Amino acid sequence: MSNSIKLAILGLGTVGTGVINLINDNLDELKRRSGRDIIITEVGTRRQRDDIDATIIQNSDLMATAASDNVDIVIEVIGGTTLAKDVIMHAIKHGKHVVTANKALLAEHGNEIFAFAEAHNVHVAYEAAVAGGIPIIKVMREALAANKIDWLAGIINGTGNFIMTEMRDKGRPFADVLQEAQELGYAEADPTFDVEGIDAAHKLALLASIAFGIPLQFDKVYCEGITGITLQDVNYAEELGYRIKHLGFAVRRDGQGNADAAGIELRVHPTLIPQEALLANVNGVKNAVLVNSHPLGQTLYCGDGAGAGATASAVMADVMDLVRVLGSKDRDDQNNTGHHVPHLAFIPEQLSDTPILRAEQMTTGYYLRVHAYDSPGVLADITRILSDAGINIDAILQKPAHKVGQVPVIILTLPVVESQMNLAIEKIEKLDTITDKVVRIRLDELE
């Protein structure tokens, strides 16, 4: 067998350049671990780069590079869901293994891509697509393979975590922190994917499929951003012993005897969690994923979720796995792809059709901020409506008036089905004593 593994890198932005630097810096270490020379033979780039080794072919024709006989593994880091998909499918068609950091592409088209890879006896590896340098895909596909995962919760967007941390620690308003995040390069010029939760929803779709053995279903992830979070709510949460984090949740529900309530919750939204919780103390641009499984229990995985070094580390971890796959194939001298874990951890034929619960079927606790006239009987009316809806109150906090004659009332509830809360809020907002829309933020004790 050949002693060298030949790589093509498609895209020479921050991540692609980071991969080149990592290989150059750790060349000897990579060979000691794999027993092979790992070399970059081609790169796909729109413009010629003077800082690339002259022995590496630079090609603006990405399709040609993806199909080159001079390439064993194609690394896709161009992003997007159109050209990237075409290039990856072309590489697979030509028998190339693929490594990608493209969470949007996989969340939206992963079922098709993985099936195509299976049909062509190649693998698509994607550790870098979720949580940067944290090896959460490998952990869930391999280290937790004997566990039944009940739920997971994650800070899986560093921009959102940076914004929430700065708001809490420094009392800064959302718009001010967002501008700084853009200046620091944490947020794009158009920050929609980060602050509205779309980026986190892409990642959650991948994590949920691996956790529960279901097809990718990004379109069924409930998604709510952080643009409506105010300093007022951040401070009230702190006073009550909670912190607000932007989290993704994937939760298995058994329905407790009600078959219609059985299924999987996929949701991304701001969440109050206890100040002492592990996730509550993951700050700045860090990512973290908390997994609750049986029999292991809760385990936390935390680290850098983005950046050249973190993402390149995850990309090359996938490359090293594929190097071993190629080595196994060569040793076996058979038409197989070596020893590798299925793309979504479960044998494709064993993926489940477990339903994804709709938003109104989800169960969480709630933080409610209600603004009301300071008059007798207001609190009694609110608590009566909640009680009639079968909602149990955990705590109530009445704050000094912000406007003459108006007071904010803060209520924390125990977990309740969302449809019940929707009806209760609708009735509360119809009271003559209520002066504004009810602010609601979900709450989870992470137990």
Q: 10 a known binding residue?
A: yes
Nearest C-alpha neighbor of 89 from the set 104, 70, 72, 109: 109
Would the annotation count 17 as a binding residue? yes
To the question of whether residue 15 is assigned a binding role by annotation, the answer is yes
Asked whether residue 414 is marked as a ligand-binding residue, the answer is no
Residue 228 annotated as binding site: no
- The DSSP code for 71 is -
Residue 397's contacts (CB-CB under 8 Å, 6 or more residues apart) are 236, 239, 240, 409, 410, 411
The annotation status of 183 as a binding-site residue, yes or no, is no
Q: End-to-end distance of the chain based on CA atoms, in angstroms?
A: 51
Record the tokens describing residue 319, joined without a space: 């490359």
44 is in an annotated binding site: no
Catalytic residue status for 170? no
Tokens found for residue 413:
């509830």
One-letter amino acid at 316 equals M
The Cα–Cα gap between 8 and 305 comes to 24
Q: Determine whether 393 is exposed, middle or buried from the number of CB atoms within 10 Å of its CB (0-12, 13-18, 19+).
A: middle
65 is in an annotated binding site: no
Tell whether residue 13 is among the known ligand binding residues: yes
Among candidate residues 85, 96, 203, 329, the one labeled active-site is 203
Residue 365 assigned to a binding site? no
Contacts of 213 (CB under 8 A, 6+ apart): 344, 345, 346, 350, 351, 352
In the annotated binding site for L-homoserine, the residues are 188
- Would you list which residues are annotated within the binding site for NADP(+)? 10-17
Binding-site residue ranges for NADPH: 103
Residues of the binding site = 10-17, 103, 188
Q: Which residues are catalytic?
A: 203
